[in-house]
Amino acid sequence: MKRLDLIFSERELDEMLKCLEKAEVPGYTVMKHVTGRGPERVVSEDMEFTGLGANAHVIVFCQEEILERIKNSVQPILNYYGGVAYISEANPL
Amino acid sequence: MKRLDLIFSERELDEMLKCLEKAEVPGYTVMKHVTGRGPERVVSEDMEFTGLGANAHVIVFCQEEILERIKNSVQPILNYYGGVAYISEANPL
Amino acid sequence: MKRLDLIFSERELDEMLKCLEKAEVPGYTVMKHVTGRGPERVVSEDMEFTGLGANAHVIVFCQEEILERIKNSVQPILNYYGGVAYISEANPL
Amino acid sequence: MNTSLILQNVLTPPVLFFFLGGLAVFLKSDLEIPSPLPKLFSLYLLLAIGFKGGLELHQSGFDGPVIPTILAAIIMSLLIPLICFFILRIKLNVFNSAAIAAAYGSISAVTFITAESFLYSQNIPFDGFMVAALAIMESPAIIVGLLLVKIAAPKERPAERVMKWREILHESMLNGSVYLLLGSLLIGFLTGAFNPSGVEKMQPFTGNLFYGVECFFLLDMGIVAAQRLPSLKKAGSFLIGFAVAMPLFNALIGVLVARALDLGPGNALLFVVLCASASYLAVPTAMRMTVPEAKSSYYISTTLGLTFPFNIVIGIPVYMGLVNRLIPATA
Amino acid sequence: MNTSLILQNVLTPPVLFFFLGGLAVFLKSDLEIPSPLPKLFSLYLLLAIGFKGGLELHQSGFDGPVIPTILAAIIMSLLIPLICFFILRIKLNVFNSAAIAAAYGSISAVTFITAESFLYSQNIPFDGFMVAALAIMESPAIIVGLLLVKIAAPKERPAERVMKWREILHESMLNGSVYLLLGSLLIGFLTGAFNPSGVEKMQPFTGNLFYGVECFFLLDMGIVAAQRLPSLKKAGSFLIGFAVAMPLFNALIGVLVARALDLGPGNALLFVVLCASASYLAVPTAMRMTVPEAKSSYYISTTLGLTFPFNIVIGIPVYMGLVNRLIPATA
Amino acid sequence: MNTSLILQNVLTPPVLFFFLGGLAVFLKSDLEIPSPLPKLFSLYLLLAIGFKGGLELHQSGFDGPVIPTILAAIIMSLLIPLICFFILRIKLNVFNSAAIAAAYGSISAVTFITAESFLYSQNIPFDGFMVAALAIMESPAIIVGLLLVKIAAPKERPAERVMKWREILHESMLNGSVYLLLGSLLIGFLTGAFNPSGVEKMQPFTGNLFYGVECFFLLDMGIVAAQRLPSLKKAGSFLIGFAVAMPLFNALIGVLVARALDLGPGNALLFVVLCASASYLAVPTAMRMTVPEAKSSYYISTTLGLTFPFNIVIGIPVYMGLVNRLIPATA
Ligand SMILES: Nc1ncnc2c1ncn2[C@@H]1O[C@H](COP(=O)(O)O)[C@@H](O)[C@H]1O
Ligand SMILES: Nc1ncnc2c1ncn2[C@@H]1O[C@H](COP(=O)(O)O)[C@@H](O)[C@H]1O
Ligand SMILES: Nc1ncnc2c1ncn2[C@@H]1O[C@H](COP(=O)(O)O)[C@@H](O)[C@H]1O
Ligand code: NA
Ligand code: NA
Ligand code: NA
């Protein structure tokens, strides 16, 4: 099985989760209030109160074939708003 | 070495950590206030105040042989209360 | 590509990020308010208010060659203050 | 008459802020009160209700209607879950039925507070000892719920999950919100008895601030309740009907008991609200731990998504109408 | 005379706490107000400003200068972004220009509050209805900003990103902070009209506590503003100049409009502050969602890193001096 | 007599809430005050103590006992760590000894507040300038602790870790809680001097609310302290003994100095409490950064797990008894 790590701005979280649901992932895990730096932006904790929010880190454990579907819908969001997506191997305990 | 990711309800955290300690893990890392969706439940941030809590995400880096011990004690908890556990490869920097 | 997971006390976060920047990582993600147990210390949430803080979990996705540079600067900090660093495989979605 | 009472209730700040929160969800505003701020308000409200209740319990003493009312409250919180359980069993399994039954036998502190605010705005007096009834109704309902599971579903559970008395008592008495409420009640009582200067110094915090924090919390509760509605729809029409009809039925029993107890209209309304309200703090937490077989979305979406808003907005003035009709105002 | 006003402004608790926060960053103290505590203060301040404003709007009614002032405020929040846009286009692309322009057309509630505190300490009266102007100036500027993007940059955007009216209105009216402010204003108004006892019971929370929370929040704002300074330096001297000169220019237009409206010195100062201040809550959030092409560090570091401190510390007393000179005190 | 004082102290809301928190841990209740809410209370208390202290310092001026008391406080916070260090070296290494010594030389603001509340409830007057002593005792103890490491352990540290004066001063003066306390003290002083209307408007926040927030925070401190007890057991009987005997010893020195300073009983108690209490905010943070070789569980479990509860519950009334015996009430 695969593990997908998505990191992007919290403000796109709802849209992103809809993509995941459409791709019929078996489940997902969300960590909010995440900060970081990417090629374009620095996201820092002290700005959260403005509503700009922080990043979200979403983890999905799923079969490889689902990844294809996710890729098609998630990639445009990441390209437009920024954020990263990485895949690694993972197996159930 | 191996990396184990456990995701389950915060309310089982103490029980889970006891299992890990019994299996003599060298250490663990806990992220609370995690939300998500599994096959059965949606866990959302706005319900945290009720005391139902959110999920916890626990990471353990350990030798493969420890995983066997963890499996035996952790699996029943996950089966009964829900939650997921995945293993991947990881090596010290 | 590689994924690096760094876990250490929040109080060393600035120093650590400076090391990463020096090593010219393409980006990083920070999760604060993380707790855990290592060989030496238990870090628990209820002590955060004292200013001792919790742990930080930093994730870096980068090319292997950058890891070498990170290692040299990060290792001494981890040795002195505690904390762990693990590498695994990861590929862009 | 009732519609005028409903309007008077709706036009108070707490209910208006509740609407503002709910509306935010329907309009898809990104208004959000991030965790753990709602917990702060919730802890504050429990601490303040308990403390004030303890003070007033000290002032009123245990004479007159105090002991009978509290006893009646305990009986109601044992009885209501049983009734609910048998109704729910028509459609649901033992686990779900027991969990929801326990929630409806227990109480909602915020509904209680809102009823108090309503009485204030109507200039109807009531007694502080009613908070003792509030504090004491949480645990028995949990115990009944867990006993129902223990008795009715022993074979459906794996051996290691057989419920122990110790666990039942622990979950029912030491649940965070029950514990804080009871503890603050006791501290209020002791402070009233031994440290009058402390009473005065607590007043700006537990007294003056209360109404505003209540409004703020109800803003959040509006958001939370509205977000539960979709899963309520999934739960089906049986549970939707239950979540409205049951409070009304419980209120009716409540008002008859209040009449038998000879309570004044203010205390009677509070008693009725205790019967009619359902718990979304102590009971769900306890059930999640001890009856994980029950679907949490069932007991959360009914209590929080429908019964709570119903009571806050329509229930309280309707129950007041009921009290006015059935209880002579001279009591 | 202005230096004495500046000194009097600087020696009030809100401004002193703002300095304390900024200094903490420069001295590298580890003082920190962790998230989501600043959000708590920010939500509280919006709720309380709105509620108080609604109350006072109910008291004052819609006679006299109320409607003209609000209309003038709307016009200013449509006009200022246009002026800003054309100035910014000298150096910046459409997206960045539109986003920054929208921020300067909109308002900063905390700057407004600080101006109110300043008026209090100077014993200069002002009217509650100015809060309505505050609440109403947020949305138009956002709409203008988004329209500018829609008109000026249609070809630079991928097809699926063409902006729809629905989206523009949603972002401008239902943004969390705009929504809470407007909603609380309405609730304050309704409470004033229908529930006088509720007014009194809200006072300790929305009234008495206000000044202290303002100070606490400004402590955090000092930290946040100082942390934005490095990225302001990166943004270059054009934006640095803009962040100081634009508020002064907008204040000048504002004072002339206030004079035309025949506002008293208190209301005039508040009107000027609305024109001169720039938004760092509603607008950046809306822009982040709808114009992700704009660099957020640009509109954040200018509004929060420079214009906000400038207004809080020097702007308010300078504008007061301007008002005193241009508006006869008998108005 | 002392037992009656202890009882009177125990039956005040702050101490009762502290017990409630501790008991929650022993009974395994799931009551929890999630992070960062305790930080909110802690920041609030520091800000409010500082502000009020600054105000009263402005009123009292620097005449009479003010300067001598502050000087004596500084001397105590230099002396006590030295005594502690030599006692601790019997069993512990240089790093642990220095870190614990610094903690006991420094102060606990919440213990100080609880002592003030105790004096209030006993109707014993005291002066606001004691807060200045409180604020000023944090840094010297940290400096002594770091100097002890610098002097006593230069060879045990890697070359790049040799401590620099700059670092020592930074950690001792710019630590978040020290900085906020000193800063608020200064702001209080300036506000008292230049902005009397600001004083009045801060009062509901920094004054009236204080006692309630103190109680809420002590509820959390009860939980935190009780959770430290297991690691205290691991730390061994030497440290357990130290955590009770040292405060008593320091109190004894303190009362003699207070007598020499001719302080009244109220001020004397506060002075003694400053000597007897140990820091769990500023010092642990500073030590974690600069002396990571010291085991944090040692300095945390002693100060927070034992010395703090001991002082809050038993210490304060015992010290009061001591003061009453050794200092003539006419002072
Ligand atoms: N190489 C990376 N490793 C880890 N996290 C990253 C990396 N690049 C970007 N991120 C995360 O993705 C977020 C969005 O990046 P951006 O593409 O700059 O909008 C950043 O704030 C980081 O949290
Ligand atoms: N496939 C998955 N990928 C990532 N997280 C998951 C997945 N399935 C479940 N989870 C997490 O595990 C939690 C508990 O799942 P459940 O088994 O539904 O109780 C969920 O709330 C998610 O956070
Ligand atoms: N084997 C491990 N697996 C996961 N996390 C660990 C492990 N060892 C240490 N940690 C994390 O690293 C932090 C610092 O460890 P320490 O080396 O004890 O200072 C701990 O608090 C844990 O969060
Ligand atoms: Na009930
Ligand atoms: Na403006
Ligand atoms: Na001391």
- Give tens-digit pLDDT for D125-167: 999 899 999 989 989 999 999 999 988 877 777 766 677 888 8
* Cis peptide bond upstream of D36, omega within 30: yes
**Average pLDDT for residues E298-317, to the nearest whole number?**
95
Please report the DSSP string for D42-103 in residue order.
HHHHHHHHHHHHHHHHHHHTTTTTHHHHHHHHHHHHHHHHHHHHHHHTTTS-HHHHHHHHHH
Three-point CA angle F287, F292, F298, nearest 5°: 70
Please report the DSSP string for E242-284 in residue order.
HHHHHHHHHHHHHHHHHHHTT--HHHHHHHHHHHH---SSHHH
Residue B53 CA to ligand 4 centre (angstroms):
23
Q: Which of E224, E281, E282 sits opposite A46 (nearest CB)?
A: E224
Phi-psi region of E15 (alpha: psi -120 to 50; beta: other; left: phi over 0): alpha
Phi-psi region of D63 (alpha: psi -120 to 50; beta: other; left: phi over 0): beta
Which of A55, A59, A84 best tests ligand 1's pocket when mutated (most atoms within 8 Å of CB)? A84
Q: Which of E39, E289, E300 sits opposite A48 (nearest CB)?
A: E39
pLDDT in tens, F221-276: 999 999 999 888 888 899 999 999 999 999 999 999 999 999 999 999 999 999 99
**Average pLDDT for residues F189-217, to the nearest whole number?**
95
Q: What tokens does D55 get? A: 């003070």
Q: What tokens does B93 get? A: 């920097």
pLDDT in tens, F117-174: 999 989 999 998 999 999 899 899 999 999 999 888 877 777 666 778 888 888 888 9
Q: How far apart are CA F289 and CA D183, in angstroms?
A: 38
In a domain, A15, yes or no: yes
* Cβ of residue C55 lying under 6 Å from some atom of ligand 3: yes
Kindly report the backbone phi and psi dihedral angles of residue F31, in degrees, each rounded to the nearest multiple of 5, phi listed first.
-60, 135
The letter for the amino acid at F111 is T
Q: How far apart are CA B84 and CA C8, in angstroms?
A: 25
Q: Which stretch of DSSP H or E encloses residue C86? A: strand C84-89
In a domain, A32, yes or no: yes
Residues 6+ apart with CB under 8 A from F155: none
Q: Is the dihedral of CA A93, B6, B7, B8 positive or negative?
A: positive
| Terminal-to-terminal C-alpha distance of chain B | 11
**Which range among B23-27, B38-42, D156-160 shows the weakest confidence by mean pLDDT?**
D156-160
Instruction: For residue C34, list its beta bridge partners.
Output: C55
Q: Nearest CA to E9 among F190, F50, F206, F49? A: F190
Give the ligand 3 atom nearest the CA of C39.
18
- Is there a contact between F311 and F247 (Cβ–Cβ < 8 Å)? yes
- Is there a contact between E35 and E330 (Cβ–Cβ < 8 Å)? no
Give the ligand 3 atom nearest the CA of C84.
12
pLDDT in tens, F88-115: 999 999 999 999 999 999 999 999 999 9
F34 touches chain C (CB under 8 A): yes
Chain B partners within 8 Å of A59 (Cβ): 5, 7, 57
Q: Which of F40, F180, F190 sits opposite E16 (nearest CB)?
A: F190
Comparing F60 with F213, which gets the higher pLDDT?
Answer: F213
Please compute Rg for chain B using Cα positions.
Answer: 13
Burial class (CB in 10 A: 0-12, 13-18, 19+), E211: buried
**Taking CB atoms and an 8 Å cut-off, how many pairs form between chains A and C?**
58
Q: Nearest CA to E126 among E56, E191, E196, E72? A: E56
Q: How far apart are CA F138 and CA D119, in angstroms?
A: 51
The letter for the amino acid at F190 is L
Q: How far apart are CA D79 and CA F24, in angstroms?
A: 29
Residues of chain A scoring pLDDT < 70: none
Chain E partners within 8 Å of F174 (Cβ): 24, 27-30
Q: Nearest CA to F113 among F317, F301, F274, F309? A: F274
In a domain, B75, yes or no: yes
Chain C partners within 8 Å of B32 (Cβ): 33, 35, 45
In a domain, C39, yes or no: yes
Residue E286 CA to ligand 5 centre (angstroms):
16
Q: How many other C-beta atoms lie within 10 A of the C-beta of residue F200?
A: 11
In a domain, A91, yes or no: no
Q: What tokens does D244 get? A: 């409205």
pLDDT in tens, D209-255: 999 999 999 999 999 999 999 888 888 899 999 999 999 999 999 99
Q: How far apart are CA D311 and CA D6, in angstroms?
A: 11
Residue B31 has pLDDT above 90, yes or no: yes
- Is there a contact between B89 and B42 (Cβ–Cβ < 8 Å)? no
Kindly report the backbone phi and psi dihedral angles of residue F277, in degrees, each rounded to the nearest multiple of 5, phi listed first.
-85, 160
Three-point CA angle E222, E226, E228, nearest 5°: 125
Q: How far apart are CA E213 and CA D37, in angstroms?
A: 15
Q: What is the pLDDT of residue A11?
A: 87
Which value, to the nearest 10 degrees, does the dihedral of the CA atoms of residues C15, C21, C23, C24 take? 170
Q: What is the pLDDT of residue E166?
A: 85
Q: What is the pLDDT of residue F331?
A: 44
Which of C7, C11, C32 best tests ligand 3's pocket when mutated (most atoms within 8 Å of CB)? C7
Q: Nearest CA to D221 among D46, D48, D25? A: D25
Q: What is the pLDDT of residue E63?
A: 87
Q: What is the pLDDT of residue E331?
A: 44
Q: How many other C-beta atoms lie within 10 A of the C-beta of residue E158?
A: 9
Residue closest by Cα to atom 10 of ligand 2: B38
Q: How far apart are CA F114 and CA F213, in angstroms?
A: 12
pLDDT in tens, F275-316: 999 998 889 888 888 888 899 889 999 999 999 999 999 999
Answer yes or no: do A34 and C33 touch at CB < 8 A.
no
B3 touches chain C (CB under 8 A): yes
- How many angstroms separate the CA of residue A53 from the nearest CA in chain E? 9
Which of C1, C5, C28 best tests ligand 1's pocket when mutated (most atoms within 8 Å of CB)? C28
For the packed helices E265-276 and E66-88, what is the interaxial angle rounded to 10 degrees? 30
Answer yes or no: do B51 and D34 touch at CB < 8 A.
no
The letter for the amino acid at A29 is T
Q: What is the pLDDT of residue D238?
A: 96
- The parent domain of residue A12 ranges over 2-50+63-82
Q: Nearest CA to F154 among F98, F89, F102, F79? A: F98
- Domain F3-24+34-326: top CATH class: mainly alpha
Number of domains in chain C: 1
Residue E186 has pLDDT above 60, yes or no: yes
Kindly report the backbone phi and psi dihedral angles of residue D175, in degrees, each rounded to the nearest multiple of 5, phi listed first.
-50, 135
Report residue E114's pLDDT band, with 50, 70 and 90 as the boundaries: very high
pLDDT in tens, D101-131: 999 999 999 999 999 999 998 999 999 899 9
Q: How far apart are CA D43 and CA E91, in angstroms?
A: 52
Give the three-state DSSP class for A1. coil
Place of tokens 């109707």: F123
Interface predicted TM-score (ipTM): 0.96
Q: How far apart are CA D301 and CA D298, in angstroms?
A: 6
Q: What is the pLDDT of residue D331?
A: 44
Show the DSSP H helices in F89-137 as ranges.
94-105, 109-121, 130-136
Q: How far is CA F14 from the centre of its chain?
A: 16
Q: How many helices (H) and strands (E) does chain B have?
A: 2, 6
Q: What is the pLDDT of residue E159?
A: 66
In a domain, A34, yes or no: yes
CB crowding B34-65: b at 16 or more within 10 Å, else e: bbbbbeebebbbbbbbbbbbbbbbbbbbbeee
Give the three-state DSSP class for E164. coil
Q: What is the pLDDT of residue E185?
A: 95
Please compute Rg for chain F using Cα positions.
Answer: 19
Report residue F330's pLDDT band, with 50, 70 and 90 as the boundaries: low
Output the ligand 2 site: residues, CB below 6 A.
Answer: A 26-29, 59-62; B 7-8, 36-41, 43, 55, 82-84
Q: How many other C-beta atoms lie within 10 A of the C-beta of residue F28?
A: 10
For strands B84-89 and B2-9, give the pairing. Answer: antiparallel
Q: How many other C-beta atoms lie within 10 A of the C-beta of residue E330?
A: 6
Give the ligand 1 atom nearest the CA of A78.
17
Answer yes or no: do C90 and A38 touch at CB < 8 A.
no
- Is there a contact between F106 and F307 (Cβ–Cβ < 8 Å)? no
Domain boundaries, chain D: 3-24+34-326
Burial class (CB in 10 A: 0-12, 13-18, 19+), D8: middle
Q: How far apart are CA F28 and CA D170, in angstroms?
A: 9
Q: How far apart are CA B64 and CA B87, in angstroms?
A: 10
Chain A partners within 8 Å of C31 (Cβ): 31, 33-34, 57
Residue D267, CB-side half-sphere exposure with 13 Å CA sphere: 26
Residue F59 CA to ligand 6 centre (angstroms):
27
Residue E145, CB-side half-sphere exposure with 13 Å CA sphere: 37
- How many angstroms separate the CA of residue D67 from the nearest CA in chain E? 31
- How many angstroms separate the CA of residue D219 from the nearest CA in chain F? 19
How much of chain D, in percent, has pLDDT values that exceed 90? 78
**Average pLDDT for residues F40-54, to the nearest whole number?**
95
Q: Is the dihedral of CA B5, B10, B14, B16 positive or negative?
A: negative
Q: Which ligand lies nearest to the CA atom of residue D112 in the structure? A: 4
C76 touches chain A (CB under 8 A): no
**Average pLDDT for residues B28-41, to the nearest whole number?**
93
